[in-house]
Amino acid sequence: MFETPWKISNEILRRLAYPRARIRFALNGIHWGKNWRIYGAPIIQRFRGSTLVLGNGLGLRSSVRSNPLGANRPVILCTWKKGAVLEIGENFGMTGGTICAAERIQIGDNVIIGANSTIIDTDFHPLDADTRRRQPQDARTAPIVIEDDVFIGMNCTILKGVVIGRGSVIGAGSVVTHDIPARSIAAGNPARVIRVLAQRA
């Protein structure tokens, strides 16, 4: 602890931020789980009639000082429409960035998301100009699944309809537009598999 004095102040600030964070979750009808570590106040936006479930062991870092990579915005967890589902498993960790579900985003256990990444299962706006004017809410959506033990690097964008397979790693700054198989390292824009991780014996 003495070698990393900023961690002491981070812990003090975490405890001071607790009441505010707890109120934010409670106002959104979200049960406070076991062993949650919430640094700074996240932004929680739950559409009434949608589902937002967060597992035990949640770690959210919204304050700039809470991670050397520096959150450039608080963590934003959002369900965008009635009936949307955002479900996150146990031991999830994220610094800054956004997860927004208009339809369904399912995240497994032990998933880590690097600083300032964005995961959205909708285009937010229709692609056709007339529709965009007349029915702006008719954007395309497709569910996202992020399986157990996935590690997503910093500044990534995960777009609608993708499945990231168990144990895979997404390189920093990648844009994921297609499925990534299990135990793969994928990177780039659009993200492509660059290496397959060895199976554990």
Ligand X SMILES: CC(C)(COP(=O)(O)OP(=O)(O)OC[C@H]1O[C@@H](n2cnc3c(N)ncnc32)[C@H](O)[C@@H]1OP(=O)(O)O)[C@@H](O)C(=O)NCCC(=O)NCCS
Q: Please, which residue, 79 or 155, has the CB nearer to ligand X?
A: 155
**Interface with ligand X, residue 172, by CB under 6 A:** yes
Minimal distance, residue 115 CB to ligand X, in Å: 5
In the beta sheet, which residues pair with residue 112? Answer: 93, 151
Asked if 113 and 88 count as a contact pair (C-beta separation under 8 A), the reply is: no
Six-digit token string for 37: 């570590």
Residues 104-143 that bind ligand X (CB under 6 A): 114-115
Least distance in Å: CB of 92 to ligand X? Answer: 13
Instruction: Determine whether 39 is exposed, middle or buried from the number of CB atoms within 10 Å of its CB (0-12, 13-18, 19+).
Output: buried
| Shorter beta-carbon distance to ligand X: residue 66 or 95 | 95
Query: Are the CB atoms for 125 and 141 separated by under 8 Å?
Result: no
Count of CB atoms situated within 10 Å of the CB of 187 = 19
CB of 131 to ligand X, least distance (A): 34
Nearer to ligand X, 103 or 149 (CB): 149
Q: Could you tell me which residues come within 8 angstroms of residue 61 by beta carbon, excluding any fewer than 6 positions away?
A: 39, 40, 67, 71, 75, 93, 94, 95, 96
Q: What is the sign, positive or negative, of the torsion defined by CA atoms of 64, 65, 69, 74?
A: negative
* Residue 97 binding ligand X, by CB under 6 A: no
Q: How far is CA 182 from CA 57, 152, 193, in A?
A: 23, 13, 10
Smallest separation, CB 67 to ligand X (Å): 7
Per-residue binder mask for ligand X (CB under 6 A), 56-75, x = binder: -------------x------
The piece of 35-43, 50-58, 160-168, 170-178 that touches ligand X (CB under 6 A) is 170-178
Of 27 and 194, nearer to ligand X (C-beta) is 194
Query: Is 178 tagged catalytic?
Result: no
Touching ligand X, residues 144-163 (CB under 6 A) = 153-154
Catalytic, out of 24, 125, 140, 166: 125
- Report the distance separating Cα 30 and Cα 33, nearest Å: 9
Residues with catalytic roles: 125
Binding site for ligand X (CB under 6 A): 69, 95, 114-115, 153-154, 169, 171-174, 185, 187-188, 194-195
